[in-house]
Structure 1
């Protein structure tokens, strides 16, 4: 798909979404709540809508954006048909914790009726260091300064657990972990007073791209063999996964300005596309199949979406698969 056609489709979807008053009585006329107009899931959803339209499917999609928390609430109230939510955050909703701790019991009860169509890995936690800092492996952060995100944020909690899984204790002083957002951290790295930083986002990451024009950088990967240890050390850890990014993709994203000696791993959690359990099995099967049988069209939209693969579609879900979606993945041999 050309970028211009994606923009046109996104604009049309946004216009439709802004005038949409209620979900159609026809279950196949679906309203999809994406995170934001600039998110990867929004671009995927628009492309998915186009795929259905071109295939002559009886199902259709309108894409709106209300974020993840509000989107799940709208799904629970029957105001949208499909929502996008992080796997650990859906677990918070079911447990009435985190950003959902003040929700009424009626909503929490409806959250438990949610089922997953599939999941994707998009934005992710990344670690980048100055090339002259001598940090090539995650354990090399020992004795180094590392910005771990804003105070009280999830990034610092995850990074501390990730370092611990690699034998490094921030509280014990093994690493100089500083609560600092990646913007100021990259500025400190440029003047030599910081060795590395955590960043969250897609590929390429604008802040990393800009910083790479003023200093030599490299990505640093967590060790995949440490993930079991990491998952045991953090709340909802079983929903965290690694996203593999080929070295050639890193080189393409940054025109060779950011080093990656081999394939790089970012940490993330699945962003689940979820529906209410009463969505028709046939509709769930049809729309799931339409997307994954045409995933190459999604992959062409952007560098970030080029990394989406069916291999991760059923990984680390915190909601049960919808029977219609499960039927498709069984046909593909992804689940039993």
Structure 2
């Protein structure tokens, strides 16, 4: 089966084609970073309007790359949530319209399930069961994954997610948007030991996270320096390095604890923060000591993309979790707030 997938939950427009037997055939992605940079963050109305402009040209590009026509598509998939309501509506309405015109079923996909399963696109790929560390945008969660649709929440953030901590700290340091990558680049020039920043909930005894206190600690240091001469470039680099080290310490510690607690030997890291070089290095080093393995999606698929949506739909089809007859109704809704564990079967 050929699955055409659409992703439009926030500030990336993604389109992809996946074959249930052969895997990823082609994908195209447009990032809105340059447009939102002037505002210091995502403007939902602008995001929705840009998705409208990009989605059909990206569809043509993806079909051309794969050497296929729309008539050869068997199923259309789209992100139904969570995400920005207006942005989700663009992808959902286009996907349902294409499916209706083709007389094919349309499948709603959970955005985080797309991230969760995306490391299966890598070589080598993990096998079920595994522990998953989801670090995408406003989400930081640890899940036990026993199969497609078989998810158990082990822990999650109680306030700010790791990605939000990166972005908010970057804003405090006067860095551009998106903040996470900018902070990581600046951290390369700094000394992570220069500031003793907190590691919230590092020793809480559970698998939950909290990052709001870290952001507050950075704000305190910034105000202190502003009062005694300003935040120099060297101080900014040191604060960036210390912040990154604190976030990586917490994420790695909790992920390792989850592996010991479950007895599983495979860890999957998915989401935009999964592209962080220091996090990757730390986890690879620590998990090798446990004689385990860690898996990441290809770096190009760490951010939001259509490939993960088409692939998640393909996996649900193969697992027999999709009612194709019901999917032919073309009635749809979006779910801006949608817990991943609601998909558990």
TM-score, structure 1 as length reference:
0.29
More helix by share: 2
TM, length-normalised to structure 2:
0.28
